[in-house]
């Protein structure tokens, strides 16, 4: 583990109080912030000091998230700050975070929602220390953003299912629900933030596997929530068997909701997120809890090692105004009500990440 001191490690990686109380067999998912306050219950409030950064100051931002540059005319969506009901989110301090992360590697592992959050964090950090030199290298499926003067790497490993997909000698693509060989890409990283959900819903041309496999049995089709739960259990076993909590802090980016059907937010005439310029008036989303969120919580509750859930589903459900719609990849043929504009909602997810990393 090298040269950094025990004190620094325990400051950064101290387990939330709850886990210390419940011990190894905690069945309470950790989502608590400072002083046991639930950071994830609250409201979006208009705050003219927002956003936290201007996307034009983030030279490496991907076009698909750069809604203003892509012509999005409204700006209110940039101005919402998450206000927890019983406390405040700590103010994001990028320089402070870099100092705390010195000599460490942070890796986002997951689908394009991981890309969204990784991109948000790299923009937040760069705009906090605009003079600090950075490098951005993409190799072998990993994008690595580094601040050499802090010796901090913020990485992204694209791995949409977390479990493995292989192609067999009959050219069949097999989604292996109980195999997680790709874990060798992230083993030993100091801070891991996982995510998977959206690809589990793909069918037809978008489905990039032919069969599911568990043990030596293959299935042409399977209930997607069941398959998701099996894969999450495989991931959870990997964490329980391989993560040393003194070295590695594990997060799960909760299920990011999309806004493709206005019925979900009691606006049945809205056929997608286009033209949405205001959040749902909170705190309660009219729709039901996200079914994938319930599966994720169930799996996390069975795990013995601490995993910090960024419980972002409900609060992001309120942000029907936060998606690129036609101001992402561009054009009306590419309506995007799944990803999020940057600056925007994932910045708040990273404020939760920061709050968890600094809590002692």
Residues with active-site annotation = 112, 336, 339
Distances from the Cα of 250 to the Cα of 13, 92, 223, 232, angstroms: 10, 20, 28, 14
Which residue in the set 103, 178, 210, 267 belongs to the binding site for ligand NAG (CB under 6 A)?
A: 103
Asked whether position 311 contacts ligand NAG by CB under 6 A, the answer is yes
Which residue in the set 216, 269, 288, 360 belongs to the binding site for ligand NAG (CB under 6 A)?
A: 216
Check the CA dihedral 176-290-337-144 and report its sign. negative
Q: Closest Cα to residue 245, out of 306, 321, 180, 295?
A: 306
Question: In whole angstroms, what is the distance from residue 234 CA to residue 221 CA?
Answer: 19
Beta carbon of residue 56, minimum distance to ligand NAG (angstroms, whole number): 31
Question: In whole angstroms, what is the distance from residue 34 CA to residue 87 CA?
Answer: 8
Which residue in the set 72, 81, 104, 305 belongs to the binding site for ligand NAG (CB under 6 A)?
A: 104
Asked whether position 285 contacts ligand NAG by CB under 6 A, the answer is no
Beta carbon of residue 151, minimum distance to ligand NAG (angstroms, whole number): 4
User: Which range, of 179-187, 306-314, 324-332, 352-360, touches ligand NAG by CB under 6 A?
Assistant: 306-314
Site string for ligand NAG, 145-184 (x = CB under 6 A): ------x---------------------------------
119 phi/psi in degrees, rounded to 5: -60, -45
Asked whether position 96 contacts ligand NAG by CB under 6 A, the answer is no
Which residue in the set 105, 143, 183, 253 belongs to the binding site for ligand NAG (CB under 6 A)?
A: 105
186 phi/psi in degrees, rounded to 5: -120, -5
Question: In whole angstroms, what is the distance from residue 200 CA to residue 185 CA?
Answer: 21
Asked whether position 314 contacts ligand NAG by CB under 6 A, the answer is yes
Which residue in the set 26, 31, 116, 234 belongs to the binding site for ligand NAG (CB under 6 A)?
A: 31
Q: Are strands 211-214 and 217-219 parallel, antiparallel or unpaired?
A: antiparallel
Q: Closest Cα to residue 105, out of 137, 158, 151, 157?
A: 151
Asked whether position 26 contacts ligand NAG by CB under 6 A, the answer is no
Which residue in the set 229, 297, 336, 347 belongs to the binding site for ligand NAG (CB under 6 A)?
A: 297
Beta carbon of residue 270, minimum distance to ligand NAG (angstroms, whole number): 10
User: Which range, of 87-95, 101-109, 126-134, 172-180, touches ligand NAG by CB under 6 A?
Assistant: 101-109
Site string for ligand NAG, 240-279 (x = CB under 6 A): ---------------------x-x----------------
Beta carbon of residue 200, minimum distance to ligand NAG (angstroms, whole number): 18
CB nearer to ligand NAG: give 29 or 174: 29
Question: Which positions lie near ligand NAG, rule CB under 6 A?
Answer: 2, 29, 31, 40-41, 103-105, 151, 215-216, 261, 263, 297, 309, 311, 314
């Amino acid at each position: 583990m090298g040269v950094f001191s025990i004190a620094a490690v325990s400051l950064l990686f101290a387990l939330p109080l709850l886990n210390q109380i419940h011990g190894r067999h905690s069945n309470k998912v950790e989502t608590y912030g400072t002083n046991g306050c639930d950071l994830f219950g609250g409201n979006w409030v208009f705050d003219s000091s927002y956003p936290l950064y201007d996307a034009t100051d983030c030279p490496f931002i991907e076009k698909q998230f750069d809604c203003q540059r892509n012509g999005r005319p409204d700006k209110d969506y940039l101005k919402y700050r998450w206000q927890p009901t019983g406390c405040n989110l700590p103010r994001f301090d990028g320089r402070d975070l870099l100092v705390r992360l010195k000599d460490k590697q942070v890796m986002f592992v997951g689908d394009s929602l991981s890309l969204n959050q990784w991109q948000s964090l790299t923009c937040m950090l760069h705009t906090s220390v605009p003079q600090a030199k950075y490098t951005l290298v993409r190799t072998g499926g990993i994008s690595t953003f580094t601040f050499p003067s802090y010796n901090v790497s913020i990485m992204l490993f694209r791995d949409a299912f977390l479990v493995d997909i292989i192609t067999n000698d009959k050219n069949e693509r097999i989604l292996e629900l109980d195999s997680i060989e790709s874990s060798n890409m992230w083993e030993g990283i100091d801070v891991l933030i996982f995510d998977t959900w959206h690809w589990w819903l793909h069918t037809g041309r978008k489905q990039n596997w032919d069969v599911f496999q568990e043990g030596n049995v293959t299935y042409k089709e399977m209930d997607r929530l069941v398959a998701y739960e099996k894969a999450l259990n495989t991931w959870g076993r990997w964490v329980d068997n391989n993560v040393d909590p003194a070295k590695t802090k594990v997060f799960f980016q909760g299920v990011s909701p999309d806004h493709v059907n206005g019925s979900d937010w009691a606006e049945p005439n809205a056929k997608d997120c286009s033209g949405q310029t205001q959040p749902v008036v909170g705190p309660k989303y009219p729709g039901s809890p996200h079914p994938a969120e319930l599966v994720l919580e169930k799996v996390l509750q069975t795990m013995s090692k601490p995993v910090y859930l960024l419980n972002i589903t409900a609060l992001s459900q309120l942000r029907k105004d936060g998606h690129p719609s036609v101001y992402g990849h561009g054009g009306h043929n590419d309506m995007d009500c799944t990803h999020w504009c940057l600056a925007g909602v994932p910045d708040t997810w990273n404020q939760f990440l920061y709050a968890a990393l600094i809590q002692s």
